[in-house]
Amino acid sequence: MRPIRVALLGFGTVGSSVYEIIQSHQQKLKQLTGRNIEVAGILVKDEQKRRDVADQVVITSDYQQILNIPDLDVIIEAIVGVEPGYTCLTEAIEKGLHVITANKEMLAHKGNELRDAARRHNVSLKCEASVGGGIPLIGTLTQLLQVNTMTKIEAILNGTSNYILTDILTNQTGFEQSLKAAQELGYAEADPANDVDGYDAFYKLMVLSDLLFKKQPAWNQVAVKGIRETGLKEILAADQAGLKIKHLALLETSDGGAWTSVEPVALTDSHPLYSVDGVDNAVNLNGDLVGEVKLQGPGAGAYPTASAILEDLIQIYQHKEDNIQNDAVEFKSRDKQRAEQWFVLSQQSSLAGKNVSSNWKFEGDIDGWYGYQLSATEEQIEVLKETYPETKAYRLAGLPTQSATPALVSI
Ligand SMILES: NC(=O)c1ccc[n+]([C@@H]2O[C@H](COP(=O)([O-])OP(=O)(O)OC[C@H]3O[C@@H](n4cnc5c(N)ncnc54)[C@H](OP(=O)(O)O)[C@@H]3O)[C@@H](O)[C@H]2O)c1
């Protein structure tokens, strides 16, 4: 079987972990998709940096070289900022490639454009890692809670801010000291502005708004406040009143509109997010049918984020397999022996991880042709055509019948 060929855009914390897990979990991934996963190319900014990858992997700062890799199937984007991610993913989609991204800033700005393009080109756009890191949030909202109307989402979406708020209370320190501790532990970037000023959580909330409501509120109407002004004094005063300050992203619908805000809020101990401490993220969902659901877990970090990306990859291929209706296809040859050989092979072979079912065979020749019909997916047909290039394959216009002259469409 041809492997699933992947290119990584970005090889930092996230990209390099995706590469590592693809190597270490090859067998599991094969069990799930029926195919090996192969990283064929990596886009970086600095080509001179040493990367610990196999020799055959193309490492380049020129995106066209990535797009020119033969038989590429999927692009995984883990770069920071709107560009070059947006342009790269647009070009990939236009080329018919599936795309997966962890980049919430790019999605907040350009998610709907990318979704439209993916729809037009009939490819998948997946983004589980972009909000809540390793928490299975987007899949839960978009696949498992589809019948529900979401009335309210309250979330702690920035692990750095949550760590700092927790640390200030636990160790009775100030904002600057706790930020330094977060940086030393690798929980905060050297430039922490996006995290502590609230923009990271804001971008994530906009991604959720797109997914749930197919639109976003006007950005200048959303109150966005970070935690820089939330010091020991405020946190202790809240504590004495039995409250805990959390950096909360809120999306609440009412009368056809939506309330959105991203700011520090004092929560009572009965609030579901009161107990979410440290670097964890958590999301409290309210659906009209399901009621209240709380999801909590690691909102960032190399492995949780890479985990979400690989779950997306598996979903693309499992989903494809499950939803493609098998086509009835006829393979014909003027060489009787050859036709019989194919028939036996098609029964023995396992294509794309699934057995092809050959359901009817020409016993005699029709107009000088010998052949058989089988039920196969598009992908399986491609494999058969690759394996036996001299085969003439035809898709039957209807389901296979015992009719001697089914309608044939050349493929
Ligand atoms: N880190 C997390 O825990 C986490 C969690 C969820 C989502 N995310 C998202 O995932 C994305 C990647 O995050 P990260 O932490 O992995 O970032 P990172 O460690 O800073 O890595 C960024 C990578 O992108 C490459 N890059 C930067 N500009 C580029 C350009 N113009 N062309 C080509 N490559 C370029 C860099 O190349 P060089 O190696 O040559 O510098 C680097 O390999 C971001 O959008 C982030 O928001 C991250």
Show the tokens assigned to 54: 């196999």
- Exactly one of 104, 126, 204, 244 is catalytic; name it: 204
Residues 6+ apart with CB under 8 A from 247: 156, 158, 161, 162, 165, 198, 201, 226, 227, 262, 263, 264, 265
Residues with Cβ within 6 A of ligand 1? 10-15, 43-46, 49, 61, 78-80, 84, 102-104, 129, 133, 300-301, 305
Q: Specify whether the CB–CB gap between 168 and 228 falls below 8 A.
A: no
Q: Is 204 a catalytic residue?
A: yes
The pLDDT score that the predictor gives to residue 404 is 30
CA of 82 to the centre of ligand 1 (A): 11
pLDDT given for residue 369 in this prediction: 64
pLDDT, residue 341, reads 67
Atom 4 of ligand 1: nearest residue by CA position = 300
Print pLDDT tens along the chain (411 aa).
789 999 999 999 999 999 999 999 999 999 999 899 999 999 999 999 999 999 999 999 999 999 999 999 999 999 999 999 999 999 999 999 999 999 999 999 999 999 999 999 999 999 999 999 999 999 999 999 999 999 999 999 999 999 999 999 999 999 999 999 999 998 988 899 999 999 999 999 999 999 988 899 999 999 999 999 999 999 999 999 999 999 999 999 887 778 899 999 999 999 999 999 999 999 999 999 999 999 999 999 999 999 999 999 999 998 554 444 455 566 666 677 766 666 666 655 554 444 455 544 455 555 566 666 666 666 666 666 666 665 555 544 333 333 333 333 343
Helix ranges restricted to H, 41-192:
63-67, 85-94, 104-120, 137-139, 159-171, 175-184
pLDDT of residue 186: 87
Question: How many Å is the Cα radius of gyration of the chain?
Answer: 26
CA dist 58 to 43, 65, 81, 182, 252, Å?
8, 8, 23, 35, 46
Strand partners, 369: 366
Q: Distance between alpha carbon 208 and the CA centroid of its chain, in Å?
A: 14
Domains located in the chain, CATH noted: 4-133+306-322 (3.40.50.720), 140-299 (3.30.360.10), 326-410 (3.30.70)
Cα–Cα distance, 193 to 214 (Å, whole number): 28
